[in-house]
Amino acid sequence: MNRGHWNRPVTFETMTLGMYRTITSTTEAARVLLEDWPVDEGVAWARAQQKCLSALEGGIDHEEARQAFLLAADEAGVFVRDQ
């Protein structure tokens, strides 16, 4: 399976205040969205999950999944640093 390494990582603040995590691939993004996301609802969140899984299956470009991850973070109010 193509993990979908991103050319530009995304660093975000986790649910633990002051703790950050850097995501460098679609695989990591999907795992975070499915298991460690601070909310479990929202249109952008659901779309990001769908796009990450689609990218991992080869259906869309990994950059599209990355952009969806950023939109989900914005929707959830998660601080991100888009590198």
Tell me the pLDDT of the chain (83 aa) as tens digits: 567 899 999 999 888 888 899 999 999 999 999 998 989 899 999 999 999 999 999 999 999 999 999 999 999 999 898 76
How many whole angstroms separate alpha carbon 80 and alpha carbon 53? 21
User: How many domains are contained in the chain?
Assistant: 1
Name, in order, each residue with C-beta under 8 angstroms of 80's C-beta and a sequence gap of 6 or more: 10, 11, 12, 13, 70, 73, 74
Radius of gyration of the chain (CA): 11
What is the pLDDT at residue 2?
A: 63
Can you give the residue range of the structural domain that contains 20?
5-82
Tokens of 57: 């299956």
Q: Name which of 56, 69, 68 is nearest 22 in CA terms.
A: 69
- Record the pTM: 0.91
Neighbours of 56 (CB within 10 A): 20
